[in-house]
């Protein structure tokens, strides 16, 4: 069985663990739990009818104090999900820092999907970050951009599937 390492990165408290739990277990917990270092989950993904690969997903803690560990977490990754919180502007800047760090460490580019998480908050708070600017940034960085909600499940499966398809395409 073909297995690929995927990393999910971004600033602290943007919903990385929630996205992962929604994707793997179809669960959402309202209670925030800090990821210390890294957590791992695995899931089989059918990227085409009757064609699957196994994703070994590394959920990397977003706190600054774990920054010294990043290089070792990136090693061997086939793809990355870069997450920020649509309700907090500074997390978008933080996600850009993760992307730039990743690019400096990993000389060979890997497929990346940028995720604006917590889209369920948009109806009550409005757009904090200009959507056109987000889409243009993703395009300029050669990434796909998807808005998700770990709470409702909106586009979570789609984000992981898009990344899986990019990984398969690159490795074929």
To the question of pTM greater than 0.85 for the whole model, the response is: yes
Q: What is the pLDDT of residues 60-70, one digit of tens each?
A: 786 666 565 66
CB within 8 Å of 28: residues ≥ 6 apart: 18, 21, 22, 150, 151, 153
For each of the domains in the chain, give its residue range(s) and CATH number, in order of start: 3-171 (3.40.50.300)
Residues 28, 31, 34, 147, Cα dihedral to 10°:
40
Q: What is the pLDDT of residues 100-138, one digit of tens each?
A: 988 888 877 899 999 999 999 999 998 899 999 999 999
């Amino acid at each position: 069985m073909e297995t690929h390492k995927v990393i999910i990165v971004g600033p602290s408290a943007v919903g990385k663990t929630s996205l992962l739990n929604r994707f793997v277990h179809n669960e959402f917990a309202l209670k925030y739990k800090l990821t210390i270092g890294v957590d791992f989950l695995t899931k089989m993904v059918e990227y085409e009818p009757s064609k699957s690969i196994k994703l070994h997903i590394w959920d990397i803690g977003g706190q600054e104090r774990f920054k010294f560990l990043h290089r070792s977490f990136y090693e061997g990754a086939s793809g990355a999900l870069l997450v920020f919180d649509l309700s907090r502007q500074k997390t978008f800047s933080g996600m850009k820092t993760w992307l730039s760090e990743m690019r400096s460490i990993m000389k060979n580019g890997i497929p990346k999907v940028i995720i604006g998480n917590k889209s369920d908050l948009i109806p009550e708070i409005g757009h904090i970050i200009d959507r056109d600017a987000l889409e243009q940034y993703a395009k300029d960085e050669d990434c796909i951009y998807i808005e998700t909600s770990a709470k409702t499940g909106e586009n979570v499966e789609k984000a992981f599937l898009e990344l899986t398809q990019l990984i398969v395409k690159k490795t074929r």
